[in-house]
Amino acid sequence: MRKTLVAGNWKMYKTPTEAKAWFKELLLKIPTSLPAEAALMVPFPFLPAAQEVLLGTAVAYGAQDVSAHVEGAYTGETSVRMLADLTCKYTIVGHSERRSYHKESDALVAEKAKRLLEHGIIPILCVGEPLEVREAGNAVEYTLGQLQGSLEGVPLDDYDRLVVAYEPVWAIGTGKTATPEDAEAMHREIRAWFARRFDLAFANGVRILYGGSVKPDNAAALFAQPNVDGGLVGGASLQLESFLALLEAAPRSKA
């Protein structure tokens, strides 16, 4: 059984003060019998407030990136030891905005995933093709290539040490969502890749989220697909009511 996960990615929105108030309000409004697991992936300066308010509750939290270096003279970087000290459960690696704007390679993403695993933090590894690749009919090949490269040398002893997020670049922040059928088709390919690389039990256990313009009005159809184990959600995770609606749209688990 895979527990469904709805993870908000706040990107570079809100302030620490706003975030702390939001976390508190969320805890007041979140249903006690929450079907899916909830998580918030927030900017680094929000993590102390997340730890103070969310630690020990039903809402997990984590960062949106991490340095590949453990520590040292790396101005502007944030280390995995800092994230572990702030009790992050998850952290995003390889988001397309970092791959594109910060030229992060698969090899760098793999190093970051390794650092997280070494410190007990679960990487949410993002993969997904740009529009021209999809239009050329190479979306599967491209996405599986990214997956392979971003997990090169990453020691994965169990499926619950990793979450994958399939985020087609053309669907991010554009209002264009992959159809539930297209998302399901890619998620099946990703799961089949894990079956080839590891085994069937690993493949059936690993959670694969969909990301790209997930909203309360399309979430239920996406999350109903057998291989879509929840979502990594940008814009629609920023408002409390829509984040709660997304959580309610998610089933408890997948077989």
Ligand X SMILES: O=C[C@H](O)COP(=O)(O)O
Catalytic residues: 95, 167
225-251: string of b/e by CB count within 10 Å (b at 16+)? bebbbbbbbbbbbbeeebbbbbbebbe
Query: Which of 233, 244, 246, 250 touches ligand X by CB under 6 A?
Result: 233
| Residue 230 touching ligand X (CB under 6 A) | no
Binding of ligand X at residue 54 (CB under 6 A)? Answer: no
The answer to whether 183 contacts ligand X (rule: CB under 6 A) is: no
Residue closer to ligand X, measured from CB, 113 or 203: 113
Question: Between residues 71 and 174, which has the closer beta carbon with respect to ligand X?
Answer: 174
Query: Counting contacts by CB under 6 A, is residue 9 touching ligand X?
Result: yes
Which residues on adjacent β-strands are paired with residue 209? 165
Phi, psi for 104 (deg, rounded to 5):
-75, 130
DSSP per-residue codes, 9-56:
E-TT-S-HHHHHHHHHHHHHHS-TT-SSEEEEE--GGGHHHHHHHHTT
Q: Indicate whether 212 belongs to the interface with ligand X (CB under 6 A).
A: yes
* CA angle, 173 then 61 then 168, to 5°: 25
Interaction of residue 129 with ligand X, rule CB under 6 A? no
Query: Residues within the annotated binding site for substrate?
Result: 9-11, 173, 213, 234-235
Residues forming the site for ligand X (CB under 6 A): 9, 95, 167, 172-173, 211-214, 232-236
Binding-site annotation, residues: 9-11, 173, 213, 234-235
